[in-house]
């Protein structure tokens, strides 16, 4: 199931991520085609049609039963590769039950607001049966910030002591800032040794701590999990992370949460060998490109983030980003960003990284958790009839999202952008003979005439965007020129696998 890749392991669903850039910087051939338009060289590497699963999804605040049902009802059939689930371990109980309780572990019992160990195991089984892997969000850097308490599964603890699990000497206690708290993010020692948000920082340099954390990961692997999202990876040194992973008995996929901010003393190079990296710069870059009507920047954006395609997990938002201040250029579904559909089209059709969708909840209060049942477990996100319940967004159920996932999976064999042309308010590119995309950010309908690698004929929009007519169609002439009217702030997407299948039979 897994391919070995250096020190880490990449799951099969990622094999579409090529180790090369779609464009070599030196190979750029920028020719003015018309005012404000740039033409990029074409790469036609059409081989054969092969559909794999290349898109994962993060679900936030869902219980295990609902995730299992959604795997069977939606994620499996729509071709999702994996679902990243909330931290499954026992956590603190905080007044008002905020969502972030889950990020303050109390023990590694698999018992949380999302459900019991048995429910977790059953979810993993059910998802895998329909082709969907499960990645668990794991918090290895710290325990809780509370001075004392009783966890969700009944475990009593103190800030630096967790029953038989951790003793006071299991923690770093960095000795800075009067309370061991992390203040200076520009100081490497503090970043790795002090208490992030006051949460007791584990001494991940100690062999027994590393072994116990690896044991937790092993337990999840035994339950059938295929990979992990490593929470707060930036707060564990690369050496310590390596020290933890070396004890883990089975191969698995990993993605590290590493928010790299300018001037801070950790780099993607040192963490890259340990797993894929969440590419936060990409999320901000996409937002800026749309908000500033600089769509041509989307061509070089991936390369400019400094993270290679085969190491990057890309997304428009996650549970932290959707909570960032409105002034930041994060394109959020919940906030109804007008650029969301176009940006999502770019995310899922441009050949870069391992895309991650995000399905969360509607909320207005930063802390708000989701509704709980009388036992404190999260209520179902979907009803027995399959209806999406409030406050869950079920963003992934949108028809146009499903169409785009199909495009991504189906074009994986041509993992390069072909016939790229861009201006400030549009971007046109193909995936060889498998398809073509025009992103149009302008405010009026516009006639496009763009080069493609498609056979002559009539093509209609393969993506069922909301508010657009299903009869939106264009014509490709004998020279491969596509002529089509694309609506304001809309996209025209051609997915034409049949064409390749037909031509390859010749």
Q: Which does 104 bind (CB under 5 to 8 A by kind): ligand ARE, Ca ion, none?
A: ligand ARE
| 37: contact with ligand ARE by CB under 6 A | no
Among positions 280-309, residues that touch ligand ARE (CB under 6 A) are: none
Q: Which candidate in 69, 74, 133, 231 is catalytic?
A: 231
Minimum gap (Å) between residue 413 Cβ and ligand ARE: 34
| 232: contact with ligand ARE by CB under 6 A | yes
Judged by CB under 6 A, which of 12, 33, 37, 145 binds ligand ARE?
Answer: 145
Phi then psi for 431, rounded to 5 degrees? -125, 65
Q: Which does 229 bind (CB under 5 to 8 A by kind): Ca ion, ligand ARE, none?
A: none
Phi then psi for 262, rounded to 5 degrees? -55, 135
Among positions 239-268, residues that touch ligand ARE (CB under 6 A) are: 257, 259, 261, 264
Site string for Ca ion, 285-324 (x = CB under 5 A): ----------------------------------------
Q: Which does 472 bind (CB under 5 to 8 A by kind): Ca ion, ligand ARE, none?
A: none
| 398: contact with ligand ARE by CB under 6 A | no
CB 289 within 8 A of CB 297: yes
Structural element, H or E, at residue 136: strand 133-138
CB 218 within 8 A of CB 191: no
51-59, 72-80, 96-104, 217-225 -> range binding ligand ARE (CB under 6 A): 96-104
CB nearer to Ca ion: pick between 52 and 176: 176
> Of 285, 343, 280, nearest to 312 (Cα)?
280
Among positions 103-142, residues that touch Ca ion (CB under 5 A) are: 141
CB nearer to ligand ARE: pick between 97 and 455: 97
User: What is the DSSP secondary-structure string of 97-113?
Assistant: --GGGGGSBS---S-BT
Judged by CB under 6 A, which of 69, 231, 311, 453 binds ligand ARE?
Answer: 231
Cis omega (within 30 of 0) on the bond before 192? Answer: no
Structure-block tokens of residue 252: 């698995």
CA dihedral sign of residues 137, 143, 147, 151: positive
Annotated active-site residue 69? The verdict is no
Q: Which does 201 bind (CB under 5 to 8 A by kind): ligand ARE, Ca ion, none?
A: Ca ion
Q: Which does 90 bind (CB under 5 to 8 A by kind): ligand ARE, Ca ion, none?
A: none
Give CA–CA dist 22/24, Å, rounded: 7
> Of 250, 270, 246, nearest to 258 (Cα)?
270
How would you label 75-94 residue by residue, b for 16+ Cβ within 10 Å and e otherwise? bbebbbbbbbbbbbbbbbbb
Annotated active-site residue 257? The verdict is yes
Residues at the interface with Ca ion (CB under 5 A)? 141, 201, 235
């Amino acid at each position: 199931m897994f391919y070995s890749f250096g020190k880490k392991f990449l799951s099969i669903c990622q094999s579409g991520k090529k180790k090369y850039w779609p464009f070599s910087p030196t190979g750029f051939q920028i020719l003015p085609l018309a005012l404000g338009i740039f033409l990029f060289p074409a790469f036609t590497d059409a081989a054969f049609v092969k559909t794999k699963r290349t898109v994962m999804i993060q679900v936030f605040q869902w219980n295990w039963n609902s995730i299992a049902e959604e795997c069977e009802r939606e994620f499996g059939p729509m071709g999702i590769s994996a679902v990243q689930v909330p931290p499954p371990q026992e956590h603190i109980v905080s007044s008002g039950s905020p969502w972030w309780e889950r990020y303050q572990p109390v023990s590694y019992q698999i018992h949380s607001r999302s459900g019991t160990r048995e429910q977790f195991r059953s979810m993993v089984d059910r998802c895998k049966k329909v082709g969907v892997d499960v990645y668990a969000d794991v918090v290895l850097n710290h325990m809780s910030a509370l001075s004392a308490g009783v966890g969700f599964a009944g475990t009593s603890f103190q800030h630096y002591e967790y029953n038989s699990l951790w003793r006071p000497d299991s923690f770093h206690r960095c000795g800075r800032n009067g309370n061991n708290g992390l203040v200076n993010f520009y100081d490497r020692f503090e970043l790795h040794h002090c208490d992030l948000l006051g949460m007791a920082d584990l001494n991940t340099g100690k062999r027994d701590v590393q072994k116990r954390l690896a044991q937790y990961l092993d337990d999840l692997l035994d339950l059938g999990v295929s990979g992990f999202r490593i929470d707060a990876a930036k707060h564990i040194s690369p050496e310590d992370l390596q020290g933890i992973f070396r004890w883990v008995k089975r191969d698995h996929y990993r993605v590290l949460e590493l928010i790299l901010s300018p001037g801070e003393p950790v780099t993607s190079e040192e963490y890259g060998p340990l797993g894929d990296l969440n590419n936060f710069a990409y999320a901000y870059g996409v937002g800026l490109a749309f908000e500033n009507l600089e769509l041509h920047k989307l061509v070089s954006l991936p390369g400019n983030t400094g993270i290679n395609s085969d190491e990057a997990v890309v997304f428009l938002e996650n549970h932290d980003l959707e909570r960032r201040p409105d002034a930041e250029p994060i394109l959020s579904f919940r906030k109804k960003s007008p650029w969301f559909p176009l940006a999502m089209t770019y995310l899922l059709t441009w050949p870069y990284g391992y895309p991650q969708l995000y399905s969360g909840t509607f909320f207005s209060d930063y802390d708000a958790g989701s509704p709980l049942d009388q036992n404190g477990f999260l209520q179902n996100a979907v009803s027995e009839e399959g209806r999406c319940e409030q406050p869950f967004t079920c963003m992934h159920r949108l028809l146009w999202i499903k169409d785009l996932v199909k495009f991504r999976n189906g074009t994986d064999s041509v993992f390069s952008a072909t016939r790229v042309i861009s201006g400030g308010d549009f971007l046109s590119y193909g995936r060889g003979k498998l398809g073509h995309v025009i992103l149009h950010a302008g405010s009026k309908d516009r006639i496009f005439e763009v080069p493609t690698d498609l056979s002559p004929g009539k093509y209609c929009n393969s993506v069922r965007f909301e508010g657009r007519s299903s009869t939106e169609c264009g014509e490709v002439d004998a020279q491969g020129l596509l002529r089509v009217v694309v609506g304001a702030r809309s996209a025209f997407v051609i997915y034409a696998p049949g064409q390749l299948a037909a031509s390859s039979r010749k």
